[in-house]
Amino acid sequence: TSLYGDAYEFSQWAKEVVESNPDALKAYRRVEDKSSLATFERPTSITIDSQDRIIVSESTRGRLQVYAKEKDYLDPQYNL
């Protein structure tokens, strides 16, 4: 299993950081394909909290990506 990241928007904190820094805002606006921003950039730690969510922290982008497992998920049955 691999995690690549799938962030689709800035956190409120990240929005404030980008909007308060003219250079960061200019750089963000120059990025045409923003899909690469969804992926992890130097993940530094991973933990599972009391609600069984997987939380991954990143150093470069200063964010957390949180994953919640579907409660009714079942592993597929393979007939071999």
pLDDT for 1 equals 52
- Return the percentage of the chain with pLDDT > 70, whole number: 95
- Angstrom CA distances, 9 to 1, 64, 75, stand at 24, 12, 30
Ramachandran area for residue 75 (φ above 0: left; ψ -120 to 50: alpha; else beta): beta
pLDDT for 21 equals 92
- pLDDT-derived band of residue 49, with 50, 70 and 90 as boundaries? very high
Does the structure show a pLDDT above 60 at 19?
Answer: yes
Average pLDDT of every residue of the chain: 83
| Residue with more model confidence, 11 or 1 | 11
Domain boundaries, the chain: 12-68
pLDDT for 2 equals 65
